[in-house]
Amino acid sequence: MITYIELEELKKSWKGKVCIFGAGELGKHIAYDMLSACGFSIDFYCDNYIPEGTLIRDGIAIRNNQYLYDNKDSVLVFVCLSVKFRETVLMQLKEHKIGHTVTIDMNCIASVLDSIDKADDKVKKRYCAIYDDRTFLSDKFKRMVGYDLNIENPKTFNEKIQWLKLFNHQDIYTVMVDKFAVKRYVSEQIGHKYVIPTLGVWQRFDDIDFERLPNQFVLKCNHDSGSTVFVENKDTMDIAKTREKLTSALNINYYWKGREWPYKNVPRKIIAERYIAVPEDMVDYKFLCFRGNPEMLFTCTERFEGNGLKVTFFDLNWNRLNFERHYPSSKKEIARPQNLELMIELSGKLSKGIPFVRVDFYEIKGTVYFGELTFFPGGGMEEFRPVEWDYILGEKIVL
């Protein structure tokens, strides 16, 4: 894992040009701000999909890849791409014998931020653009939702979510976002029958005793989102790939991604859960709750179909609501869940006293299972259509 000190040492030793390969959100904003704070001066960008000459940041433009290849010995390349494109570009650079490369991803960013977090105030001030929560959130908010964040007098749902990130820090929230600890919390609040049983918990991947696990199970980290591995057959699971995924996740403080405070101090673990066979068309039911009052819900459907995830809002009587948030709503008929009233009741119990929290459930073969508690859906940076719903839901959050 890399630190800001190592990056600054690299800056002192490098005398050539500097290129960022990748002009998306990561390369254009987060990595650029970090490298600039380290003292790097970015000379040009490269990107396989953006035309040459396009201005990316502070007057710095895209140059064609051939320019990079022709100057490979005098250019340090920071590869700033998502997993989807990273391996292809690294192979591309290797084929053209580009020897001076550094991969910058969110793991790297989080590692650098961890090192800054332990440094003095002078260092933190220098890295303010990526380290200071309010600065980071304000900049990203404008890019993502299209208007300035008013943290002093927030009115919209998205603004108030940012306010809650910055100022509503309750120790119990850390328990509630911990996928291991929350099971006990939920069991105490509504009963253990709604909680998917835990089969084991470990500090490291290599501590897992697979002999003691059934043939089917689910592995996940307790402190993040996206590290889940579904094991349908223990004998054919890819151990190396699973180890890499979960170990990488364990090394990252998920807090740095969106400055969601409850995640900052979650003690990181790997857990195994009972495997529950789910239909391909399974629906997620996500209830928006305001101080113990579920007001509405949305469903997540069609995740694995050609046009991608659909998010559809309903009132508590299962009438469709006429707005969308970031994702399109489904054009299909979505059946009212068998246990709607029960899920509404349970949502109210789990959200009591909290300004806002989203409570998630699944309904599988008539049985209700708790999913998770989410304090900042979409990071509070997903646009509404029409925009007035940003204000309508904002009014429901009392700070």
4-126, CATH topology level: Rossmann fold (3.40.50)
Tell me, what amino acid is at 342?
A: L
Instruction: Among 3.40.50, 3.30.1490, 1.10.287, 3.30.160, name the CATH number for the domain at 196-274.
Output: 3.30.1490
- Judge if the upstream peptide bond of residue 386 is cis by omega within 30 degrees of 0: yes
Tell me, what amino acid is at 152?
A: E
pTM: 0.94
CA atoms of 375 and 350, how far apart (whole Å):
12
Q: Torsions phi, psi of 320, nearest 5?
A: -65, 140
Q: What is the pLDDT of residue 101?
A: 97
H-run or E-run covering 12? helix 4-13
Which has more pLDDT, 303 or 179? 179
Tell me, what amino acid is at 104?
A: I
Binned at pLDDT 50, 70 and 90, residue 279 comes out as low
Torsion of CA 388, 390, 393, 397, to 10 degrees: -130
pLDDT per residue over 58-73, tens digit each? 999 999 999 999 999 9
Long-range pairs for 299-308: beta carbons < 8 A, 24 or more residues apart: 299/330, 299/334, 301/330, 301/332, 301/334, 302/330, 302/332, 304/280
What rounded mean pLDDT belongs to the chain?
96
Tokens (6 digits) for 238? 């890819």
Tokens (6 digits) for 203? 């500090």
Q: Report the percentage of the chain scoring pLDDT > 90.
A: 94
Q: What is the pLDDT of residue 1?
A: 79
Distances (CA, A) of 312 to 252, 364, 374, 384: 32, 19, 18, 12
Binned at pLDDT 50, 70 and 90, residue 277 comes out as confident
- For the chain, which residues make up each domain, given as ranges? 4-126, 196-274, 284-396
Q: Torsions phi, psi of 194, nearest 5?
A: -90, 0
Instruction: Among 3.30.70, 2.50.20, 3.30.470, 1.10.760, name the CATH number for the domain at 284-396.
Output: 3.30.470
Residues 41-48: what's their mean pLDDT? 98
Tokens (6 digits) for 53? 């000459």
